[in-house]
């Protein structure tokens, strides 16, 4: 399907067709895995389709990138070997030593480590601000020095919501660009570029790939100036995915819409069960009217996603016990796959921020609600929360 049509069709049609036309020689409906590092030239410089060397371009990766650009409604997309490789490339494309960034005060741990521990010694400065607090973001900007306002929405694991449209206006007024890590929502639930963001970041390892079988990342950009810089750095830095990884990620994207709807259906059923349960102190889900970001989430997201966090009544011991007892929910890090996962952020994904301002409550549990039978998921949690067992 040509790029021209790919932006106008519905989301599900784009997910399945955008970025690839059946192979002209064989008619292959699915992009082949082009396991090749180089390409025959028809005379010096006579490139077929622009392909020269697979760090610079590979047809399997091109198909994935075309698909991602169409789903996020961006001008260009670039695929990487991991989400953090995408972030590293973006930072070096758009910032220089001495520049300043505003980052979420509850940023994904790997993003914080990259900006703080790798970017810091290289000369990048950063200030944390709550993505849900527009005044705090405004106050954190250093006029003339701040090049990027970097947000996640929803954030991890407390699911705070940032108002993308308002934050884009704040960033642009200060001469900065707005970067949105859209990993948790996926392009099906939220398209930040259509709300004024300049760059979307994905760990495609999560919902985009969706099957917990591949690590990958992507940048989708609005505006050809940013695209040229990122494209140059993608090739110059070389953190690209191999063709098999690109194939797996692209295969995952085709079913993104149906998977996300089922993730959301199941998450809503799990939330219904948890709310008011005597062993549960608080349920955190943007779909709940009690959630402070509910109104903004309702405006900018199609639905509220597959991640549910909750606090139990019996402190850390209780939370660890529940994590030990589930059987359908697998105890593990990561998120966004078809299988349900449970984890204890304080001891697992967020252990590195213990003792800092970013510390998460010790009685907190995070669920990545999968697409199994909803009743089995609820029954599993019911058993794990039953008092006096274990």
Ligand X SMILES: *Cc1c(COP(=O)(O)O)cnc(C)c1O
Q: Which residues are catalytic?
A: 55, 108, 181, 206
Cα–Cα distance measured from residue 32 to residue 34, given in angstroms and rounded to the nearest whole number: 6
Contact 226, 193 (CB under 8 A): no
Q: Rounded to the nearest whole angstrom, what is the least distance from the CB of residue 22 to ligand X in the complex?
A: 30
Q: Rounded to the nearest whole angstrom, what is the least distance from the CB of residue 270 to ligand X in the complex?
A: 20
25: left (phi over 0), alpha (psi -120 to 50) or beta: alpha
Q: Residue 177: phi, psi to the nearest 5?
A: -100, 150
Q: Rounded to the nearest whole angstrom, what is the least distance from the CB of residue 86 to ligand X in the complex?
A: 8
For ligand X, the binding residues (CB under 6 A) are: 82-84, 108, 110-111, 152, 156, 181, 183-184, 203, 205-206, 215, 217
Cα–Cα distance measured from residue 124 to residue 115, given in angstroms and rounded to the nearest whole number: 7
Burial class (CB in 10 A: 0-12, 13-18, 19+), 80: buried
Q: Rounded to the nearest whole angstrom, what is the least distance from the CB of residue 326 to ligand X in the complex?
A: 21
Q: Rounded to the nearest whole angstrom, what is the least distance from the CB of residue 112 to ligand X in the complex?
A: 10
The smaller minimum CB distance to ligand X, of residues 39 and 285, is found at: 285
Name the residue whose CB lies closest to ligand X.
83
The smaller minimum CB distance to ligand X, of residues 86 and 270, is found at: 86
Cα–Cα distance measured from residue 163 to residue 295, given in angstroms and rounded to the nearest whole number: 10
Contact 152, 162 (CB under 8 A): yes
Q: Residue 94: phi, psi to the nearest 5?
A: -115, -5
The smaller minimum CB distance to ligand X, of residues 99 and 181, is found at: 181
The smaller minimum CB distance to ligand X, of residues 86 and 280, is found at: 86
Write the DSSP assignment of 57-81 as a string of letters.
--HHHHHHHHHHHHHHT-SEEEEES
Q: Rounded to the nearest whole angstrom, what is the least distance from the CB of residue 162 to ligand X in the complex?
A: 13
Contact 105, 357 (CB under 8 A): yes
DSSP state of 50: T
341-343 vs 364-368, strand pairing mode: antiparallel
The smaller minimum CB distance to ligand X, of residues 51 and 78, is found at: 78
Beta strands (DSSP E) in 132-198 are 146-152, 177-181
The smaller minimum CB distance to ligand X, of residues 370 and 384, is found at: 370
Cα–Cα distance measured from residue 61 to residue 164, given in angstroms and rounded to the nearest whole number: 29
C-alpha torsion sign, points 96, 100, 101, 106? positive
């Amino acid at each position: 399907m040509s790029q021209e049509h790919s932006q106008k069709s519905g989301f599900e049609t784009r997910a399945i067709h955008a970025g690839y036309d059946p192979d002209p020689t064989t008619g292959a409906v699915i992009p082949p895995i082009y396991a090749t590092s180089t390409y025959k030239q028809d005379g010096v410089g006579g490139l077929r389709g622009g392909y020269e060397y697979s760090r610079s371009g590979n047809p399997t990766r091109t198909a994935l990138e075309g698909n991602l650009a169409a789903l996020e409604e961006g001008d260009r997309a670039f695929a990487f070997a991991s989400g953090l490789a995408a972030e590293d490339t973006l930072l070096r494309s758009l910032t220089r030593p001495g520049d300043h960034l505003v980052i979420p005060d509850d940023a994904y741990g790997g993003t914080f480590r990259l900006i703080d521990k790798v970017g810091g010694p290289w000369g990048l400065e950063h200030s944390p601000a709550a993505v849900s607090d527009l005044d705090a973001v405004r106050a954190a900007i250093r006029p003339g020095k701040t090049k990027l306002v970097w947000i996640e929405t929803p954030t991890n694991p407390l699911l705070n919501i940032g108002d993308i449209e308002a934050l884009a206006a704040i960033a642009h007024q200060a001469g900065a660009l707005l970067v949105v890590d859209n990993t948790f929502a996926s392009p099906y639930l939220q398209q930040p570029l259509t709300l004024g963001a300049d760059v979307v970041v994905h760990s495609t390892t999560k919902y985009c790939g969706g099957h917990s079988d591949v690590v990958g990342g992507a940048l989708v950009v609005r505006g050809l100036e940013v695209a040229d810089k990122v494209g140059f750095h993608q090739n110059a830095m070389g953190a690209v995915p191999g063709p098999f990884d690109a194939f797996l990620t692209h295969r995952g994207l085709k079913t993104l819409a149906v998977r996300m709807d089922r993730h959301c259906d199941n998450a809503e059923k799990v939330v219904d069960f948890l709310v008011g349960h005597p062993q549960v102190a608080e349920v955190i889900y943007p779909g709940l009217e009690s959630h402070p970001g509910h109104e903004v989430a309702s405006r900018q997201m199609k639905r509220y996603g597959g991640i549910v966090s909750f606090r139990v009544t019996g402190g850390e011991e209780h939370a660890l016990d529940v994590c030990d007892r589930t059987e359908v929910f697998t105890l593990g890090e990561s998120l966004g796959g078809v299988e349900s996962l449970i984890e204890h952020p304080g001891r697992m994904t967020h252990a590195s921020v213990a003792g800092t301002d970013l510390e998460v409550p010790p009685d907190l549990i995070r669920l990545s609600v999968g697409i199994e039978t909803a009743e089995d998921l609820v029954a599993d949690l019911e058993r794990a929360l039953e008092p006096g067992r274990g």
